[in-house]
């Protein structure tokens, strides 16, 4: 029986040449990630990633989680998940505790895949597709004197690179400025490009409905995080008031955290992050719960090539929503702001071609981690 021998967390940090922000107001002047490396006594190594503050994720895993799994069989991935969750549920039902479990869970699936010679998607149900359509996440706020112009320029760049779907930020503090910016982008990219907006929960319920009705006139695919994630009743109200899809859930954790929003159909699309919501093990359960209630699952993705690869395997394993003769393509969030961990951490970077990303076919996550990149950017 294979056993877990060692758990190591790598906190990586890199400066951002052109800092950017969203409606949340904080400036992204560095990119950070916490990678989880799990070694086995057979020599197989698995990699995972945690969403959120890297120093916190590292500290939580090292002090609360790592010691719990030493000597366990990595194939017992469900047993390990339940053991860790029940160990910390008194104080860690959400947030960084679950992000820590997520990183461990992803690394375990990577190990299982490498040990069996199978890609992760084969282990979690198989691949419904061999490639996924990527949408470019970008159009943050950089130059506040040119917020509309820079958004148009970036959107046109994405289209020229092959993207057929784009998600942009809104939440400038003025509903009219937001609408003007979205309208400028829609005019620039045309009607053939799918366009989504993300407010990062900056609106009140009345303002979300007001701007949502105007966004519908611009053929917006979905309105992401219009209001605060805690306000389930508010989400119900916004979703019922608008014809376009309302999305959210990147700030939710585990099937328990998603349960009420799904069963009440508080949103049309849930967006669990495999690096935050509980890893692949838990996200499959969240997706199944969503499917049972007629809610789409389009995962959130932010971070390095490790988390991106895990997200692609997860997406590949999801059936079309809903199944039909010509299914609506499942969408991969492919964040496009400056990020060396996305671009260089994998020996063979994950790239899009004509807006499509191939599902990795190698064992485990299907990527080889470049340790030189870890050494270059490692903080601790």
Q: Are residues 216 and 305 part of one domain?
A: yes
**Backbone dihedral angles phi then psi of residue 187, each to the nearest 5 degrees:** -65, -40
Q: How many domains in the chain?
A: 2
User: What is the reported pLDDT for 224?
Assistant: 98
Residue 171's SS3 state is coil
The verdict on residue 83 lying in a domain is: yes
Mean pLDDT to the nearest integer, 218-228: 98
Q: Are residues 172 and 107 part of one domain?
A: no
**pLDDT tens digits for 14-65?**
999 999 989 888 889 999 999 999 999 999 999 999 999 999 999 999 999 9
* Cβ atoms of residues 36 and 99 within 8 Å: no
The verdict on residue 51 lying in a domain is: yes
What's the chain's Rg over C-alpha atoms? 20
User: What is the reported pLDDT for 109?
Assistant: 99
> What CATH number is associated with residue 75?
3.30.390.10
Q: Are residues 236 and 128 part of one domain?
A: yes
User: What is the reported pLDDT for 330?
Assistant: 86
**Catalytic annotation present for 300:** yes
CB atoms within 10 A of CB 174: 10
User: What is the reported pLDDT for 321?
Assistant: 78
Q: Are residues 329 and 343 part of one domain?
A: yes
What is the helix, strand, coil percentage profile of the chain, to 5? Answer: 40, 20, 40
**pLDDT tens digits for 258-306?**
999 999 999 999 999 999 999 999 999 999 999 999 999 999 999 999 9
How does the average pLDDT of the chain come out, rounded? 96
User: What is the reported pLDDT for 328?
Assistant: 77
Mean pLDDT to the nearest integer, 124-148: 95
Q: Which of 291, 379, 305 is nearest to 346 (CA)?
A: 305
Determine the number of helices (DSSP H) and then strands (DSSP E) in the chain.
14, 12
Task: For the chain, give the percent of residues with pLDDT over 70.
Answer: 99
The verdict on residue 364 lying in a domain is: no
Residue 21's SS3 state is strand
The verdict on residue 363 lying in a domain is: no
| Catalytic residue (choose from 10, 121, 201, 300) | 300
Q: Are residues 186 and 310 part of one domain?
A: yes
User: What is the reported pLDDT for 322?
Assistant: 73
Q: Terminus-to-terminus CA distance in the chain, angstroms? A: 32
**Number of C-alpha atoms within 13 angstroms, CB side, residue 244?**
23
Domain range enclosing 99: 4-117+369-377
> What CATH number is associated with residue 225?
3.20.20.120
Q: Are residues 176 and 112 part of one domain?
A: no
Query: Is pLDDT above 70 for 204?
Result: yes
User: What is the reported pLDDT for 325?
Assistant: 67
The token pair that represents 181 in the structure block: 């910016």
- CA angle 115/352/122 to nearest 5° reads 25
Q: Are residues 286 and 147 part of one domain?
A: yes
CB atoms within 10 A of CB 347: 13
Q: Are residues 236 and 92 part of one domain?
A: no
Query: Is pLDDT above 80 for 326?
Result: no
Q: Are residues 19 and 98 part of one domain?
A: yes
**Backbone dihedral angles phi then psi of residue 31, each to the nearest 5 degrees:** -110, 130
Q: Are residues 342 and 244 part of one domain?
A: yes
**pLDDT tens digits for 339-358?**
999 999 999 999 999 999 99
Q: Are residues 97 and 46 part of one domain?
A: yes
The verdict on residue 324 lying in a domain is: yes
Q: Are residues 319 and 346 part of one domain?
A: yes
């Amino acid at each position: 029986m294979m056993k877990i021998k060692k758990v190591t967390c790598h906190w990586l940090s890199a400066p951002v040449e052109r800092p950017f922000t969203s409606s949340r107001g904080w400036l992204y002047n560095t990119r950070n990630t916490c990678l989880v490396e799990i070694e086995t006594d057979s020599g197989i190594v698995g990699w995972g990633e945690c969403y959120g503050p890297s120093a916190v994720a590292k500290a939580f895993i090292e002090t609360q989680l790592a010691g719990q799994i030493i000597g366990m069989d990595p194939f017992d991935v469900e047993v390990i998940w339940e053991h860790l969750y029940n160990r910390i549920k008194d104080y860690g039902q959400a947030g960084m505790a679950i992000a820590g479990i997520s990183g461990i869970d992803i690394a375990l699936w990577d190990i299982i895949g490498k040990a069996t010679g199978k890609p992760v998607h084969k282990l979690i149900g198989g691949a419904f597709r061999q490639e996924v359509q990527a949408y470019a996440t970008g159009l943050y706020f950089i130059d506040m004197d040119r917020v509309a112009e820079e958004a148009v320029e970036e959107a046109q760049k994405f289209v020229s690179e092959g993207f057929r779907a784009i998600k942009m930020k809104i939440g400038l503090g003025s509903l009219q400025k937001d609408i003007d910016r979205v309208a400028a982008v829609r005019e620039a990219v045309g009607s053939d490009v799918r366009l989504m907006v993300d407010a990062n929960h900056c609106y009140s319920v009345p303002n979300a409905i007001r701007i949502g009705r105007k966004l519908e006139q611009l053929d917006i695919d979905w309105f992401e995080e219009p209001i605060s994630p805690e306000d389930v009743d508010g989400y119900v109200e916004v979703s019922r008031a608008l014809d376009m899809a309302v999305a959210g859930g990147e700030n939710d954790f585990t099937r328990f955290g998603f349960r009420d929003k799904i069963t009440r159909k508080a949103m049309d699309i849930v967006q669990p992050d495999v690096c935050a919501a509980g890893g692949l093990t838990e996200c499959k359960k969240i997706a199944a719960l969503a499917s049972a209630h007629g809610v789409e699952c389009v995962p959130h993705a932010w971070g390095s090539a490790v988390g991106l690869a895990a997200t692609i395997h997860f997406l590949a394993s999801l059936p079309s929503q809903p199944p039909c003769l010509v299914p609506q393509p499942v969408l991969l969030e492919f964040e496009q702001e400056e990020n060396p961990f996305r671009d260089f951490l994998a020996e063979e970077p994950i790239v899009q071609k004509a807006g499509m990303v191939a599902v990795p076919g190698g064992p485990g996550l299907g990527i080889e981690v470049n340790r030189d990149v870890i050494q270059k950017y490692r903080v601790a």
